[in-house]
Homo-oligomer: A and B are copies of this chain.
Amino acid sequence: MTAFTRTVAIRFAHCDPAGIVFFPQFFALVNEMVEDWFAGPLDCSFKQLHIGARMGVPTVHFEADFLAPARLGDELRQTLLVTSVGASSCTLTHDAWLGDNKLACFRQTIVHVALDTMKAAPWPVSLRARIQLYGEKST
């Protein structure tokens, strides 16, 4: 089990007048993780996917727990693991950490669709294989 990870600085634009990350911006940070995971280890950038192949990976389900606020200047560490993979969907678990404190966790289900019809389409075999490498239970 190897999580996909990155560290990102909490910016001015992420924060609200209460001085903490505005929660819709937190979802944007989670989406950036998916984007970076596709562009990096999955070898299928959002440009290739959306413009080249006219496919997309819209989110159909999201659960989020915000445990503690993230603040301007925090160095947030984000992790992504694959909880399950279906024929044309997958469910991801995202955690966001500040040092040893978990600030938030997310459960996200995305579906592989054709943009022109918004109908689900099976993952290409090679892409599905790369997704499975990030499975929580893979060994």
Instruction: Point out residues on A near B: beta carbons under 8 Å.
Output: 9, 11-13, 15-20, 22-25, 27-28, 31-32, 35, 39, 45-48, 50-51, 56, 58-69, 71-73, 115, 118
Given contacts A18-B50, A18-B115, A61-B63, 6 further A-B pairs with CB under 8 A are: A12-B46, A27-B27, A48-B73, A51-B73, A58-B66, A59-B64
Q: Which of B12, B13, B23, B46 contacts A73 (CB 8 A)?
A: B46
- Helix, strand, loop or mixed for chain A's interface? mixed
Give the residue among A46, A63, A71, A115 with the most B Cβ atoms within 10 A: A46
What chain B residues lie within 8 Å of A17 (beta carbons)? 12, 15-17, 19, 50-51, 72
A-B contact pairs, 19 of them (CB 8 A): A12-B16, A13-B22, A15-B16, A16-B16, A17-B17, A18-B56, A18-B115, A23-B59, A23-B62, A24-B25, A27-B27, A46-B72, A47-B71, A47-B72, A48-B73, A51-B72, A58-B66, A58-B69, A62-B66
